[in-house]
Structure formats: C-alpha cells, structure tokens
Structure 1
Amino acid sequence: MREKLPPADWTRRAELAELVAALGPGNARYVGGAVRDTLLGCEVHDIDIATPLEPVEVIARLEAAGIRSVPTGIKHGTITAIREGDNVEITTLRRDLTTDGRHARVAFSQDWREDAARRDFTINALYADPHTLEVFDWFGGLDDLHVRRVRFIGDARQRIREDHLRILRYFRFQARFGSQPADEEAESACAELAPMLKGLSRERIGWELQNLLALPDPAPTVARMAELGVLGAILPEADAAGLSRLVAVETREAIAADPIRRLAALLPADPGIAEQVAARLRLSIAQKKRLILAARRGEEADPRGLAYRIGTEAALDRLMLAGRETTALNGWHAPAFPLKGGAIVARGVAAGPEVARILRAVEADWIAEGFPDADRVAELLDKRLMR
C-alpha cells in the first residue's frame, strides 16, 4: 500500500481543487517541495503541479475554467496559474535531450517516472495524487526522507554534469534536511566536480549561497564544504570558522539569521575583499554597501554611537561579528541631533567651514554623553564657543 500525505490545510484549498478539476482526471499530481515538506511536517510555501498535458493544452483548459495563467517558462513547459492564494506552477512532464551543465534542452513526455528521473534528489522526486493523496516514489525518496538522507537520483556525477549548480543545491538540502553521516557518493562527486562551479554565472552562485546561509544553522555544512574544496571553488577568501562563531553569537543574542551578515562572517575584515566579493556575486547595491561596512569592523566602545553613525543594521553586523553584546540596541532608535548650523551662526560665528566644524564637534560630544536633551546640547555648544 502506498504511503499517503498526512492531513494538511493546503491540500484542502478550494482554489487548488478548481485547478486540478480544470486540468482533468489523471492530469495533475503535486510534486517536489510541497510533498516533501508535508511528509516532514514542515510548513509548505510553494505548490507545484506536474501534468502530462502540453503547455498549450494547459493554457486552454485553464482559460476554459476562467483561471488566468502566465507562460512564465513555457519553453521548458511551465505555466503559472494565478490564484487568490499562492500562484501555482504547472509543468509538463519532461525528459532531457541535451545538457551542458548550465542549460538543458527538453522534450515533453507522458511518462511520470521519466519526469522523476531527471530531477536532482530522491526526496524531490515524490509525487502525490491530489484526490487520494497517495505518494508515488520510484527512486527510494520516502526511505531517504525517513532517515534524512540527501541522495542524488542515479549516478551523482552524471546528475552534477547535467547541472553544475546541483553541487550547491546538494549542500543546501544537506544543511536543511540531511543527517550524518552524509551520503558518501554525493560528497565524493561534489568534491571531484567542484571546479565545474567556476563555469556558472555569478548570480546563480550568489543566489544559491545566500539561500544556504539563510538556513537556521548552515555552519557544519559550510565547514564540510571547505573540507571538500567546494567552498574554495566559489569563495576562495572564506574562513568557515567565522560562520560558526557568528551562529553562536546569533543564538546567544536571540537574533535571527541574516545571509549577508553571515557572508561577512566568512570573509576577512578587509573592505577591498568585501567589495570584490560583492561584485563577483552580483550583490545588490544595498548588499554591497552593507558587506563593505561590515568588513570595516574594529573595537567599537559604544554600540549606540556606532548605530547612530552607520545605522542600526550595520552596527548589529559589526557588533555580532566582533562577538559583542547587542542588548543596548534592543528597541533603541537613533534620536535626531537637536542643533542646526543656524543656531551657531546666531551666536556670532560667520557662516562657513567653522560652523560645520563646531557642529561636528558638538555632535561628537553629544554622542559621547549618550544623546542628552536639547538643554545639555546648548551647554555643550557654550563650552565649544568658549574655547
């Protein structure tokens, strides 16, 4: 008897039932993450449907049922159904014709097993009937899921040669779902073929690396990547020990994981290197700025003064990377400096550079005294003007 999905709210959603009905009997199965995560008792975020119907037929049937769709990946057989809840991707069964490690040329198929065979890991090749919730498993994914084993379908090296990014996906899934000891064949293949990662676009590597670093505790997995030579292939500047230290600080301070802060933890305290890495991984302008600020870390005596100067987020980065406490910033918002240049001019100082110098000096005094009120700022100004 086949295993079934346990009861889950998402399987009872009316809009999903309408979608399945529109495709017709036997033409839809849930696949991938929704099936895997439901079996593990995890929250389900994305729902994907596989179908033997070709994209043109999928669009026609959805339209006939009054369901709007977008051909988001029609070349590879994917149509996105627009629903009131979450949008649902519907992909035609496929088989690979050619692959070059980055792109695949596919043909549509009518064979569920053939479609499953082209997927990366056994735990991602699980399909479920939307009516009976029976799970279809051709490659031992259920057994692997029960023991938390991340294993490639078929020959690991062949799977990686088809898509080099599967090396990083393997470690992301290992960090999220895997147990120890890890699958020996998978690790061996990833170590052997790690140089292939250099042929991938930097955006793909940066995106996958951030997804890995966003997981609750990727430190042991990242350390293993370093041992196997995988981390060095994508981030030669990295020191995996820095991530372990940061995760310990996150736990102690009860602060949520942040992939950019964790990336900074892997890098030396060198703004030049941070800038190079940000450019190489095609980080956004905001992410690049933050990574560089984090690399300028040093001994900061006053957390609030630091937050006032560079922003709370950047200050948290610096403090945590230095192993410092962050409680001084809990619920704290930087106040506005209660002095303007006009007040200094009104005291008889000619407008110009001298006003700016005095303003900066009084502001520094104000920060050093812990942001006192306007009356104290007036006193600080008096002291500066008497010098």
Structure 2
Amino acid sequence: MTALTGQPWLQASSTRAVMAALEAAGGPGCARFVGGCVRNALMGKPIDDIDIATVLKPDQTEAAIRAADLKAVPTGIAHGTVTAVAERTPFEITTLRRDVTTDGRNATVAFTDNWAEDAARRDFRLNALYADAEGRVFDPTGEGVGDAAAGRIVFVGDPETRIREDYLRILRFFRFFAWYGRGEMDAAGLAACEALAPGMTRLSAERVSKELMKLLAAPDPRPALRAMSDSGVLGLALPEAVPLDLFEAMAPLSDDPVVRLMSLLPADERLIVEVSRRLRLANATRDRLADAAIAARDVDLSMGDPAVRAAVYRHGGRAVADGVLRRWAEAPDRADDARRLLAIAEQWAPPSMPVGGRELARLGVDPGPETGRLLKAFEDSWVSDDFPTEGHAERLAALVSPQRG
C-alpha cells in the first residue's frame, strides 16, 4: 500500500489533535485526509489546505471537535462541512456524500458512509485519494496514485457525466493540467470539454474568473491555454481574448496572473472595464488592467530615462512596469531596454509637486481657474525638465510675469 512519508503536516500536533477528536467519536478509520493534501504530498508539491472526509454526520463532527476543546465552525452544514481550528490551523471536515440530483451548477447531496460513493462524485482521479491518520493511502478508483505519479488529469468515470454535474469542471480540467499535468492531455477529457463547453454559460461570473485567475497563476499555463483556445473553451470563457502570441511571449516574463490576463486582452481601457464588469473582477484588478492599457500608450522601449520617469509620474510605477512588460512581450529581443525601463518604473519614487496655490497667491494670483492653468503649465515644464530640485520660484514667476504684462 502506498503511504505518505516525510510530511510535517501529517505529524503536526494540530493535525493529530483533530484526527484524534474525530476517531474518539467514530472509531479508528472514521476520518481520512482527502484531495489536495494527499495529491500534493504524493507529487512532492506544497500543501496549502488540509481537508478531511469522515463518516460522521455534521452534527457529530461538530460535537466531536468541541468535545476535544477545539474550535468548530459550521461553515457549510447543509453540504456536510464543519471547519475545525487547532493551533490556529483550519481543517475543513466534510461528511462523505453522494449526489442525488445535479443541474450543471449545484448538486443536492445525501450523506453516506461509503468511501467509494464519495470518490465517485469527485472530479478527477488524482483528487479522489484518501489517507488515514498514519498516512496510508486509499485509492478507490484504482488509478489516482498512478495519475499523480504520471501527471495525468483524468475524470472519475465518464467525463461527460462529470461535466454535466458541474460545468465548472471544464475550466478545472485545464487549470489542473496547468498546475499538475505532464505530457499530452487526456483525449477523452479534452473531447468532452470541447463538446460541452457551451454549458459554461450556466456558471456564475465569479466562478469563471476565479478558475481563470488560478490557471493563469500556474508556473507555465501556456500548454493549457493553447488547448483551451483550440477547443473553443477560451473563446467562451473570455470572448474578448486576442490571439495567444502576446500571451505566449508574456508568460515567461511574469508569473503575475493579472499581467498574464493583460496579455490576453486588447490594450483598450474601455473594453477592459467591460470585461472586468462581466467577470466581476476585483476593483483593484480592473483598475490595474485599465491603468496598464493607458500607460502602454506612453511606453516605448526606446525611451530615455527622463521619459520613463515622466511616465511613472503620470501613470504610476506599476502601470508603467505593466506597460513595459507588454512592450517587451511584443519585442522579445529588446530585453536589455525593457530591464532598464523596469528598473526605473519599479525603483524610482516620483517627487511631489513642489509648488501650489499658496506660492501663486504670494505672486498676486487670485484663486480661480488661472491658478489651475498656471500650476498645470508649471508641472508640464517641471516634468519635461526631469524634475529639477531647484529654481521653482523662478520658474513659477516666469509663468506669471507674461500674465501681468
């Protein structure tokens, strides 16, 4: 039997406390680790979350956790989930389930004590893996361990059936391949995703955008994006996507999913705002994408250092850096120029405007539209001269004098 070895999280006192609490209520073997923690342990990848499956019903789980003087949070009782917190570490504990009805978005479930039934409702075989408190791995599909070793992303059972249960699994197929896949994609799974892609219209915008951003954060999402594009899935998830040439060049330059998303879209701030609204992206993401599109118009890899500083002053360092990355992806042979511009955009701190209305008032200019015009003229001159640190009074007086004449 396969076993997990060398896993600090498995031996941690917090983990042992939660498993001991569950087994005190349901007996040995009533709870097993499931999904990502088992998969990643087998694949030698970092463990982010620890999920546990149990034959205990939700109320029994909650009672068992509280009886061990641990914190229990009923995070999803209707779906069988209770979160235990031990030593500030959360453990999501879910009762074994089987699907009763599904509609492509949500499922009505019934609780079960059958591990095979619970495995049968999961998406991919390498996610239908369980391990007991001692690290012994259980593989109900008989293929999950092998898939994890080989980097295969294969649906549990019939791919079309799994997808019709939840159309988000189409995007998850590509996302998991981007993170864990090796070699060629599973042909049956890919064909099912292509055939059923129109069903993604049933999904909420938040679910689509969340999966897309997770996919774009993968170390190298390019093979998955190519397959998404060729199958028509990308065109349905992101109809505004441009051809992948820019994305192919951008992906190695930055692992930031927002920058990679930027390379999939035209540099058109109005369209970007529309896309962000449709996908319900976070406001910060929307603003960053729009700012980068605006800054890109002022970015040229041939620009001198003063021009870069002027762009940073006008648009902000991050927007200019994002614009530089876009131009670099468009001209991969200009790496030295791009790195020079990036260094300025990321390290140079723009100074504050050195004069204001008070200085103009001292020169006899009354508050009003003329104040704004003169300050704008001063700022343009100051920026074009690369932010000199002296001579502000003289520069401002020179602008005011012609008005007095």
Same fold at TM > 0.5: yes
Identity among equivalent positions (%) equals: 44
How far did 1:216 drift? 2.0
The answer to whether the Cα contact below 8 Å between 2:321 and 2:346 also exists between their aligned partners in 1 is no
Could you say which residue in structure 1 is the equivalent of 2:348? 332
Provide Cα deviations, 1:225-269, integer angstroms capped at 9, x if missing partner. Answer: 11110000111110222212222433xxxxxx2222222211112
Aligned to 2:313: 308
Q: Which one of 76, 88, 91 corresponds to residue 88 of structure 1? A: 91
After superposition, the C-alpha distances for 1:38-87 in whole angstroms (9 at most, x for unaligned) are 11111111000110000010111111111111111111100001222321
Do structure 1's residue 138 and structure 2's residue 140 form an aligned pair?
A: yes
In structure 1, C-alpha distance between the alignment counterparts of 2:74 and 2:131, rounded to whole Å: 24
Query: Deviation per CA, 1:18-56, whole angstroms, max 9, x where unpaired?
Result: 111111122211111111111111111100011000001
For 1:227, the equivalent position in structure 2 comes to: 230
1:283-362 to structure 2, matched below 5 A, reads 283-296=281-294, 297-300=296-299, 301=303, 302-323=307-328, 324-325=338-339, 326-362=342-378
Q: CA-to-partner distance for each residue in 1:168-194, whole Å, 9 max, x for gaps?
A: 001010001111211111111111111
Alignment RMSD (CA, Å): 1.5
**In the TM superposition, what is the alpha-carbon distance from 1:386 to its structure 2 partner?**
4.4
Q: Does the CA contact (< 8 Å) of 2:318 and 2:345 recur in 1? A: no
Pick from 222, 235, 244: which aligns with 2:248?
Answer: 244
Is the 2:363–2:397 contact (alpha carbons within 8 Å) kept by the matching residues of 1?
A: no
State the Cα deviation string for residues 247-297 of structure 1 (Å, max 9, x = none): 2433xxxxxx22222222111122221121111101122222222222333
Letter in 2 for 1:135: V
Secondary structure of the structure 1 residue equivalent to 2:89:
coil
CA contact (8 A) 1:46 1:86 kept: no
Q: Does 1:269 align with 2:267?
A: yes
What amino acid is the match of 1:342?
Answer: R
Tell me, yes or no, if the aligned pair for 2:17 and 2:86 is still in contact at 8 Å: no
Q: 1: distance between equivalents of 2:317 and 2:298?
A: 16
How big is the shift at 1:367? 2.0
Contact 2:178 2:220 in 1 (8 A): yes
**1:16-27 equivalence runs, <5 A:** 16-24=15-23, 25-27=28-30
Q: Distance in 2 between matches of 1:3 and 1:349?
A: 82
2:317, 2:346 within 8 Å by CA — same for their partners in 1? Answer: no
**Corresponding position of 1:115:** 118
Distance 1:83 1:138 in 2: 29
Q: Distance in 2 between matches of 1:118 and 1:249?
A: 39
Secondary structure (helix, strand or coil) at the match of 1:193 reads helix
Matched with 2:385 is 369
Q: Show the counterpart of 1:378.
A: 393
- 1:178 is aligned, of 177, 181, 191, to 181
Greater shift, 234-243 or 39-48, is seen at 234-243
- Confirm or deny: 8 A CA contact 1:165 1:200 kept in the other structure: yes
SS of structure 1 residue aligned to 2:297: coil
What letter is aligned with 1:14?
A: S
Shift of residue 154, structure 1, vs aligned partner: 0.6
Give the letter aligned to residue 93 of structure 2: I
How many residues matched?
A: 378
Q: Where does residue 68 of structure 2 map in the other structure?
A: 65
Larger deviation: 189-198 or 207-216? 207-216
Shift of 1:105: 0.5
Per-residue CA deviation, residues 117-168 of structure 1 (Å, 9 max, x unaligned), is 111011111111112x111112201111111111111111111000000000
CA distance in 1, matches of 2:358, 2:291: 32
Secondary structure of 1:385 counterpart = helix
TM-score under structure 2 length normalisation: 0.90
Q: Which runs of no fewer than 5 residues in structure 1 stay unpaired?
A: 251-256
Q: Using the alignment, how far apart are the partners of 1:248 and 1:59 within structure 2?
A: 46
Number of the residue aligned with 1:254 = none
Question: Which range moves more in the overlay, 29-38 or 322-331?
Answer: 322-331
The TM-score, its normalising length taken from structure 1, stands at: 0.94
Corresponding residue number in structure 2 for 1:204? 207
> d(CA) in 2 for partners of 1:217 and 1:368?
41
User: Which of the numbers 277, 280, 289 marks the counterpart of 2:278?
Assistant: 280
SS of the residue 1:249 aligns to: coil
Aligned-residue offset at 1:362: 1.6
Q: Which residue of 1 aligns with 2:13?
A: 14
Q: Which residue is equivalent to 2:334?
A: none
Larger deviation, residues 218-227 vs 89-98: 218-227
**Counterpart AA for 2:5:** P
